[in-house]
Amino acid sequence: MAKSIFLACVLGLVAVCCSSVTEARPAANGENRQPLVNTVYVFGDSLVDVGNNDYLPAPAPRANRPYGMDLPGRPTGRFTNGYNLADVVSQRLGFETSPQAYLSMLPHEKLLLGLCQIGANYASGGSGILDTTGEGTLTMRTQIKYFKRAADLMFCFPSKEDHLANSLFLLSGGGNDFSAFNPSTDNPSAYIAKMVSTYIEHIQALYNLGARMVGILDVPPVGCTPGSRVGMSNGACNDVANSLAQGFNNLLRTQLAGAVAANMKDLKYSIASNYNILTNTIANPFIAGFKEVETACCGVGRFRAEEMCSHGNTTACTGNHNDYMFWDKLHGTQATYEHGVVAFFYGDGPEYAEPINFSTLVKKKGGPAPNIQLVTNE
């Protein structure tokens, strides 16, 4: 009797809280649509962090104004002008935004997490795949430990295994590890191999905890960011940095396919080709709807890339922020992320995502792609 009353109270609390926390995003026709997955769990770096770093002491980087200036209210903890990749992916799945930052959760929200009513975003700006990357941030290994702590306490209907198997695990990492790469002491091949083997360890750990649907964002062309261009005398892309990113992306695809076949036979995954999508966009900016693909919108100095946005005397560009591919010296604008997500959700072939696209990954065709031309580098 007492147990029944307790469960009734818990379910009543869930009903009240979930109306605001897990409400599905309205579909294009104005009607609510059922999300394509149970929920989303996010791990990684500043491309997907929605505010965990706001709860960490220095030197963890923080996204203060003008970051988030195109979203209402206070700074959002996102390293862009508006929504980031975790948000836009979640919106494609039928949610309002990314699940909230884990470190921001109040007790009743952690209760909802434990009852499998909401997901969580564990990402930390500045972190990487390797444990040594990102001073003061939540490493990916730490993020997974936080998830394990929550998963061990989950009570789901019909089961925890079913809930997690039908949730998307979204991962982003690698860019910051290359920022920490020291060419004078680190061997490129060995460094990339260590990154890939460590990443597969992280994916295996999530698989052991119940993940069965994993979306991975590969490393973009880091040598073409404004921050990389400012270090080049001719302002061109840094081909060495791009070569490292390509080497990592290629080895990850090969090694992960083998690891899944050997040790994670029930795993479905998609690797989004951020590298190809952004490279093609830079080569064909007007097709993608951008007017500026070299200079950042927010910053100072050459390419507005001599300081991070919100540092010193940096300012945001005037006019339409959607005209810019890059918000700051490292991160894209919301428009860039929206363009990329359309490509790896609906694009056909490994140029956009492999071995399957995100739409196939979440077990639903998702209807026709929006009326946006996918950029190719033909």
How do residues 155-191 score in pLDDT, each as one tens digit? 999 999 999 999 999 999 999 999 999 999 999 999 9
* Residue 367 resides in a domain: no
59 has a pLDDT exceeding 50: yes
**Cβ atoms within 10 Å, residue 370:** 11
* Residue 366 resides in a domain: no
Active site residue 233: no
19 has a pLDDT exceeding 80: no
Under 8 Å between Cβ of 340 and 84: no
Percent of the chain with pLDDT strictly greater than 70? 87
- Given 46, 172, 270, 310, the catalytic residue: 46
DSSP for 21-87? HSPBPB-TTSSB---SSS-EEEEESTTT-SSGGGGS-TTS----TTTTTTSSSS--S-SSSS--HHH
* Residue 230 resides in a domain: yes
Query: Which residues, listed in sequence order, are joined to residue 95 by a DSSP beta bridge?
Result: 24
* Residue 129 resides in a domain: yes
CATH number at residue 211: 3.40.50
By mean pLDDT, which of 58-62, 70-74, 218-222, 342-346 is the weakest?
70-74
Once rounded to an integer, what is the mean pLDDT over residues 86-96?
98
Q: How many CA atoms are closer than 13 Å to the CA of 299, on its beta-carbon side?
A: 26
Once rounded to an integer, what is the mean pLDDT over residues 215-244?
97
**Residue for token digits 């649907």?**
213
* Residue 12 resides in a domain: no
The number of distinct structural domains making up the chain is 1
* Residue 31 resides in a domain: no
Active site residue 328: yes
Residue 315 is part of which domain span?
Answer: 40-361
Q: Is 306 exposed, middle or buried (0-12, 13-18, 19+ CB in 10 A)?
A: middle
Position 32 scores a pLDDT of 52
Range 2-5, long-range pairs (CB < 8 A, 24+ positions): none
Q: Of 369 and 213, which is predicted with more confidence?
A: 213
* Residue 2 resides in a domain: no
Position 297 scores a pLDDT of 98
- Given 163, 202, 321, 331, the catalytic residue: 331
For residue 21, name the pLDDT band (cuts at 50, 70, 90): very low
* Residue 3 resides in a domain: no
- Given 45, 177, 218, 328, the catalytic residue: 328
